């Protein structure tokens, strides 16, 4: 076989590989465009529209309004109140949830703990419960008249304006701590056993191994779960929506997503779209800033 024929064959092989890649990527690209890119583009388009009427009782029609809806959204005090509320929620709830997930993962990875399969399943089971069902269940547990723990719920009103946010934080923690624990635990399983053996030969205890070896090595997994948690905090919807039926303290503007939902139900779709775009931008900025700050500290 002459060497001149090889380049031609290589080109054919590369073309075939490109076609195979295109065939495998096409279903994902189609679904990604249909259910992700197009809805985002439509939301941005809707946020630039305004509703006009000819006269007081004329038929409404949508026209291009530029940044009118964004100006109205940025001047909305309920929007900023809801942003501040979920930020306070995240500052307290996310560290507590991730700390519990890390402790549970370290316990499952410890040789001193027995029944790992049982506890791994027990910690993860709440995540299998749909968020709406979990919120309804906890709402009944919090209710002073319906809870089986009436002495507690009647003396401490967990559905009051001062405590309802933290009552929802408990629900979110209960649901997602097992999910985050599984991510961290999977990262712990990827650490070579030789690292632990070397530490034991140096006389390190289990606590010392966990603090000096395990936690630093699983830090990328902790950062990943933190970013997921930040995104989930700003998208809080199911829990406040359900808790509205249990507590009058939860209003239609309690969280940003609840504000978007209630605004679209008025209906005022263009303003709700503007709220959604601003919320998406805030989520991106917070998660990206957190990622950059943690990466910078990791390389220092």
Spatial CA neighbour of 254 closest among 268, 266, 244, 264: 244
Count of domains in the chain?
2
Mean pLDDT of the chain: 88
Could you give phi then psi for residue 65, rounded to 5 degrees? -125, 5
Could you give phi then psi for residue 219, rounded to 5 degrees? -60, -40
14 pLDDT above the threshold of 80: no
Do residue 49 and residue 93 come from a single domain? no
pLDDT at 59: 74
What is the percent of the chain with per-residue pLDDT over 70, rounded to a whole number? 92
Could you give phi then psi for residue 50, rounded to 5 degrees? -130, 155
Do residue 23 and residue 156 come from a single domain? no
Single out the residue in 40, 64, 88 at which a domain terminates: 64
Which residue did the predictor score with more confidence, 44 or 23?
A: 44
Do residue 53 and residue 86 come from a single domain? no
Question: What is the per-residue burial (b if ≥16 Cβ within 10 Å, else e) of 105-122?
Answer: bbbbbeeeeeeeeeebee
pLDDT digits over 84-137, tens only?
Answer: 999 999 999 999 999 999 999 999 988 877 888 888 889 999 999 998 999 999
Q: Is the peptide bond before 152 cis (omega within 30 degrees of 0)?
A: no
Rounded CA-CA distance 292/28 in Å is: 29
pLDDT at 51: 80
What range defines the domain where residue 57 resides?
Answer: 3-64
Do residue 7 and residue 144 come from a single domain? no
Do residue 247 and residue 150 come from a single domain? yes
Do residue 108 and residue 254 come from a single domain? yes
pLDDT at 202: 86
Least confident of 48-62, 90-104, 235-249, 250-264: 48-62
Rounded CA-CA distance 37/257 in Å is: 19
What is the percent of the chain with per-residue pLDDT over 90, rounded to a whole number? 63
pLDDT at 9: 53
Compute the residue count for the chain: 300
Helix (H, G, I), strand (E, B) or coil at 49: strand
pLDDT at 37: 92
Where does the pLDDT of residue 295 fall: very low under 50, low under 70, confident under 90, or very high at 90 and above? Answer: confident
**Residue 110 covered by a domain:** yes
Q: What is the mean pLDDT of residues 15-21?
A: 75
Do residue 102 and residue 200 come from a single domain? yes
pLDDT at 253: 93
Spatial CA neighbour of 94 closest among 298, 287, 293: 287
Helix (H, G, I), strand (E, B) or coil at 8: helix
**Residue 222 covered by a domain:** yes
pTM score, two decimals? 0.85
DSSP designation for 144: T
2 pLDDT above the threshold of 80: no
259 pLDDT above the threshold of 60: yes
pLDDT at 206: 87
pLDDT digits over 160-182, tens only?
Answer: 999 999 999 999 999 999 999 99
- Beta-carbon contacts of residue 202 (< 8 Å; ≥ 6 apart): none
pLDDT at 98: 96
**CA-based radius of gyration for the chain:** 26
How many C-beta atoms surround the C-beta of residue 3 within 10 A?
6
Do residue 84 and residue 227 come from a single domain? yes
């Amino acid at each position: 076989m002459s060497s001149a024929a090889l380049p031609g064959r290589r080109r054919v092989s590369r073309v075939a590989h490109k076609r195979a890649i295109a065939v495998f990527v096409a279903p994902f690209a189609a679904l990604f465009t249909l259910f992700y890119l197009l809805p985002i583009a439509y939301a941005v388009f809707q946020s630039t529209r305004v509703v006009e009427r000819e006269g007081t009782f004329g038929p409404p029609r949508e026209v291009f309004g530029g940044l009118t809806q964004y100006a109205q959204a940025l001047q909305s005090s309920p929007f900023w109140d809801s942003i501040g509320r979920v930020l306070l929620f995240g500052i307290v709830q996310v560290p507590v949830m991730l700390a519990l997930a890390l402790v549970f993962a370290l316990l499952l990875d410890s040789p001193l703990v027995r029944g790992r399969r049982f506890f791994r399943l027990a910690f993860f089971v709440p995540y299998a419960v749909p968020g709406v069902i979990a919120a309804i269940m906890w709402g009944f547990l919090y209710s002073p008249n319906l809870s089986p723990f009436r002495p507690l719920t009647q003396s401490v009103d967990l559905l009051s304006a001062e405590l309802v946010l933290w009552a929802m934080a408990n629900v979110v923690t209960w649901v997602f701590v097992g999910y985050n624990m599984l991510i961290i635990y999977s990262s712990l399983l990827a650490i070579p056993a030789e690292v632990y053996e070397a530490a034991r030969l140096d006389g390190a205890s289990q606590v010392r191994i966990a603090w000096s070896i395990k936690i630093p090595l699983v830090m990328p997994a902790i950062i990943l779960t933190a970013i997921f948690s930040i995104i989930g905090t700003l998208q809080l919807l199911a829990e406040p929506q359900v808790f509205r039926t249990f507590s009058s303290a939860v209003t239609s503007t309690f969280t940003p997503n609840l504000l978007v939902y209630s605004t679209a139900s008025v209906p005022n779709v263009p303003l709700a779209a503007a709220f959604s775009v601003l919320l998406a931008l805030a989520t991106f900025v917070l998660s990206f800033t957190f990622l950059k700050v943690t990466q910078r500290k990791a390389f220092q």
